[in-house]
Amino acid sequence: MSSQNSGPSGLLSLRHSAEHVLTQAMLRLYGPNKFFMAMGPATDDGFYFDFEPVNGFKVSEDDFPKIESEIQKIISESLPITKKELTLAEAKKLFADNPYKLDWLNAIKNRDEKIIVFYTGSDFFDLCAGPHVTSTDQIGAVKLLSVAGAYWHGNEKNKMLTRIYGTAFPSQKELDDYLHNIEEAKKRDHRQIGKNLDLFSIDDYVGPGLVLWHPKLSIVREEIETYWRQEHRRHGYQYVYTPHVGLANLWQKSGHLDFFHAGMYPPMSMASKDPDDQNNYYVKPMSCPFHIQIYKSRPRSYRELPIRWCELGSVYRYEESGVLHGMLRVRGFTQDDAHIVCREDQFIDEVNRILDFALEMNRTLGFSQLNTYLSVRDLESKSTKYVGENRVWELAESTLEKILTDRQISFRKDVGGAKFYGPAIDLKAVDSMGREWQGTTIQLDMNLPARFGMIYTGQDGQEHTPIMLHRTLLGSMERFVGTLIEHFAGAFPVWLSPVQAEIIPITDNQNDYAQKIASVLNDQGIRVEIDDKSETMQNKIRNATAQKIPYMLIIGAREAASETVSVRQRDGQDLGTMSINEFIAKVKEQITTKSLNLIK
């Protein structure tokens, strides 16, 4: 396998081609009258193939060995993969019997893009923009993973298709490592851990994508929010609070109704309450327009800038039901939002301050590795989703790039990743399994201040338009805490653990001493529970370990007589016997320093 397929762009080509070979293998095995090809992109983790089964055709995971065998056969044939550009008429003739390809062709025509078909050997072709490897023998190791349902274009109003997920790597070893990580990821799935540890739930009766925080996980959130507030005060931020809804004219002015309408919930009409009130309200998808209106509530001077306002604001964004995923992809969430309004001579320093703040906070919460992306426009897509002048965008994008370059921070450009009002620096946290999670975002906005008429009086006595920075450090509380659950596999650091110590009396004779210890620990701010159930000590230890409680304080007749505790950690280490004051001192040091480790 050529080393050219080992990088991100090489993997993309390899996986694109693997999906084509999957489709080709299915056509060889089952024939063209069993399914309609729909779509099949490469993804960060592999690829998938969507198709509509017809004439009673079904595919299950039991069929994978047979399909994989045919895939390997095609790979061994070293078939050339070639590219051909077609006219719309030629392409429609080629795919005349496939409604999904005809739909794609109309979309390509509307975007005024080239129509590209890739051929694999002489008997298979598919509509695809690429990229691809040049021969099937360059594909490497392929594995089919699962079968699922998926709506065409992700829209639940469309037909439900069958989706086969797979992955491909340059070598078998890389594939084996990936499959091992998949199994590890299953063990860390926050949805299963959340159920096992009684952390959260999502109830269809309440609504899809709306998280119910149970008491234990609410403690984790409370600790994070307390730390978040303390650190924002220390870094010169002021708190604000804003409503959950706003009038339509606010969202029209901000550009959300024009550029973010698909992500907003439907309007609430006031006419049903009062025929004379023709206003519509929207639940807020973002907090920025409210912060802007606070800024505009009175005249501002250059002496006041920079202004740093922060809010743990609940926002609501519509997501298709097919993409909802536990706490990681939701419809209602609390964003650790902040906006910095500053002068042109201040914003570079402000961006650097945010970067320093983000690194510090992520490190404290367990993420020492952050991958950096510069999210910019996709100028080739001819998209109309961006608001503002090209000159302003170019200045904003080049300025953020220079900040990263001057700090010698390596980064990748995320072309097309910019929000409609400005480019951004995105820091993605890397978890214990090497997976990336969206976290810190720093967006430079030179557009909304002008749209809203934000001004300040400068030192020269003239009116000037400020620059605005939109910023989150953690992203949303839901996604970040869901990420933490998977990162730590539910075993939170001591300062975040819902229960920090479990007292385990060996017999009922030690229950009074257990209550005494619990009272002392509670007074010292240590979260504690007593397991006084009529079970064996070994069962109680197993239960506490399964609940990821950092410390078990085992007390028998000897410990009660000497007023000590026998300390055992959730990782199985026995710390021996110590006085309760000694244990309190060790745990309080961990809590105060926000240590990520246990005592030993």
Q: Tell me what pLDDT residue 389 has.
A: 77
Q: Which domains does the chain have, with CATH numbers?
A: 3-188 (3.30.980.10), 217-236+300-483 (3.30.930.10), 501-593 (3.40.50.800)
Between residues 1 and 251, which one has the greater pLDDT? 251
Q: What is the mean pLDDT of the chain?
A: 92
Highest mean pLDDT among 119-123, 177-181, 220-224: 220-224
For the entire predicted model, the pTM comes to 0.82
Mean of pLDDT values over 423-448: 88
Mean of pLDDT values over 77-102: 91
Structure confidence by residue, pLDDT tens digits, 512-540: 999 999 999 999 999 999 999 989 999 99
Which pair of tokens denotes residue 426?
Answer: 């995105």
Q: Tell me what pLDDT residue 110 has.
A: 87
Least-confidence region, from 183-197, 319-333, 408-422 = 408-422
Q: Tell me what pLDDT residue 8 has.
A: 54
Mean of pLDDT values over 345-372: 94
Q: Tell me what pLDDT residue 382 has.
A: 59
DSSP code string of 535-592: S-HHHHHHHHHHTT-SEEEEE-HHHHHHTEEEEEETTS-EEEEEEHHHHHHHHHHHHH
Q: What is the dihedral angle through the alpha carbons of 143, 146, 152, 156, rounded to the nearest 10 degrees?
A: -160
Q: Tell me what pLDDT residue 384 has.
A: 62
Which pair of tokens denotes residue 216?
Answer: 């234990």
CA-CA distance, 123 to 25, in Å (whole number)?
Answer: 11
Q: Tell me what pLDDT residue 44 has.
A: 84
Say whether pLDDT at 386 is over 80: no
Give the number of C-alpha atoms closer than 13 A to the C-alpha of residue 255, restricted to the C-beta side. 18
Say whether pLDDT at 9 is over 70: no
CA-CA distance, 345 to 462, in Å (whole number)?
Answer: 16
Is the CB of residue 415 less than 8 Å from the CB of residue 475? no
